Amino acid sequence: MTSSEALVRVEGLRKLFPLNAGFLRAPTSFIHAVDGLDFAIAPGESLGLVGESGSGKTTTGKLLVRLLDITAGHVFMQFDGQVLDVARLQRSDSKTFRRKVQMIFQDPYESLNPRRTIFDTIAEPLQVQNIGNVLDQQERVAELLNLVGLSPPSTYLFRFPHELSGGQRQRVAIARALVINPAFVIADEPTSMLDVSIRTSIMQLMQNLGTQLGVTYLYITHDLAVARYMSTRLAVMYLGKIVEMGATEEVLQRPQHPYTKALLSAVPVPDPRWTRTPVEIKGGISKPIDPVPRCRFYDRCPLAAKVCEDNDHPPLEDKGSEHYVACYRV
C-alpha cells in the first residue's frame, strides 16, 4: 500500500497525560499512553489493535475520533480525494470528518441515552448533519434496523434502551454508527460485554455490513481470538508502542516479538487435549510514566540483552512480507 492509497495514515502519534499538575504548577511527570505510533489502514481493510489493559489501544481509538486531543504527530484521513489532517481540523472540515468517522463503544448499557427512543438515537446523526427531512430519516432508520437484524423495525422504533437486551442494544449502537454511511468506523471492544451465543452474531453482522457498505474498521480488543476473526491485519500494542504488526494469520501463526509470543501462549484454548507452551514472561504490565529510553518490554523480556538496554525503543522494522517487528533480538 502506498501512502496515497491509505484511508487512514498515522505518523508519530503521541498522547501524554500529565501527572501531579496543579494550579500554577507544571506537571512533574507524564504517562506516555500512546508513544509514537505509525500505521496505515487501506480502504476496506480491518486493522485489529490488540493488547492488555493499559497498553494504549483505547486511547489510540479516542485520538482517531478526536475524543482526545493529540499531543504530537499526525493523523491523515482521506475521503473522496480530500485529505484531512485530524489534529488540525478546520471548522469546515470538521463536518466531513464527523460524517465519515464513527465509533462503536464497548458497553451498550452506557453508550445509549436511556431517555431517547431507538428512533431518536439512530436518527440523531442524520439530524445533526441535516440529512433529509423527517420522512427520509424515518425511512433510513427503518432501513438500518432491518440491516442490523432488528425487524420488523416498527416494533423497535419507539422503544427505549431498557426494553432491549444487551445484544439488541449493541445492534442499535451499530445502526447509529452506520446511519450516515461512514467510511471509517472505530470499534472499541464492541463484543466483550456480550455472551458467546450473542457475540458471534454481532461479529458476523459487523463483518457483513463492512463488506456490504464498504466500511473500513479499526477493531480494538484485548481478545486475540476475536481479533483473529474480525481483522485482516493485526497490530499488537505494549505500553504505548506497536511491537508487532502484520497480516492476522501471519502474526498469529508466526509471532516474532517475545511479547506477542507470550500473549499468544497465555490465551486459554477451548480444548482440554491441547497443551500450551508455558508463558516465559513474568509480572504484569506497568504504567508508562516517564519511561526510560530503552525497549518498553525490557524488564519482562526473556531475550533482554545489552543492546536493548543501551538503545532507545527499537523501531518497527519490516521482517519480510510486511510483517513488522520492533525488537533488536529478532
Which of these segments, 23-31, 93-101, 151-159, 269-277, binds another protein (CB under 8 A)?
269-277
How many beta carbons lie within 10 A of that of residue 254, not counting itself?
Answer: 12
Residue 28 or 277 with smaller CB distance to another protein: 277
**Which one, 139 or 249, has the nearer CB to another protein?**
249
**Residue 320 Cβ, how far from another protein at the closest point, in Å?**
22
HSE of 275 in the Cβ direction (CA atoms, 13 Å)? Answer: 0
User: Taking CB under 8 A as the rule, does residue 129 contact another protein?
Assistant: no
Nine cell digits for residue 45:
481493510
Lookup result for grid cell 476496506: 44
Q: How far is the CB of 257 from another protein (least distance, A)?
A: 14
Interaction pattern, residues 143-182, with another protein; x per rule: CB under 8 A: ----------------------x-xx--------------
Q: DSSP letters along 122-184, please?
A: HHHHHHHTT-S-HHHHHHHHHHHHHHTT--SGGGTTT--GGGS-HHHHHHHHHHHHHTT--SE
Phi and psi angles of residue 307, each rounded to the nearest 5 degrees, phi first: -60, -30
Cell 516465559 belongs to 280
Q: Which is nearer to another protein, 50 or 101 (CB)?
A: 50
Nearest-angstrom CA–CA distance, 92 and 77: 15
- The reply to whether 264 sits near another protein by the rule CB under 8 A is yes
Residues 186 to 215 in contact with another protein, rule: CB under 8 A:
195-201, 203-204
Among 270, 306, 312, 321, contact with another protein (rule: CB under 8 A): 270
Which CB sits closer to another protein, 176 or 199? 199
Q: Is the peptide bond before 43 cis (omega within 30 degrees of 0)?
A: no
Contacts with another protein by CB under 8 A: the residue count is 40
Angle between helix 166-178 and helix 134-147 axes, rounded to 10 deg: 130
Strand order in the sheet with 101-104: 101-104, 184-188, 216-221, 46-50, 233-238, 241-247, 324-325, 317-318
Show contacts with another protein in window 221-240 (CB under 8 A): 222-226, 228-229
Minimum distance between the CB of residue 245 and another protein, rounded to whole angstroms? 17
Q: Which is nearer to another protein, 29 or 286 (CB)?
A: 286
Question: What residues numbered 29-58 form the site for another protein, per CB under 8 A?
Answer: 52-53
Instruction: Provide φ and ψ at 38, rounded to 5°.
Output: -130, 120
Tell me how far, at minimum, the Cβ of 52 lies from another protein, in Å.
Answer: 4
Q: Please list the residues that pair with 265 across neighbouring strands.
A: none
Binding interface with another protein (CB under 8 A)? 52-53, 165, 167-168, 195-201, 203-204, 222-226, 228-229, 249, 252, 262-274, 279, 281, 284-285
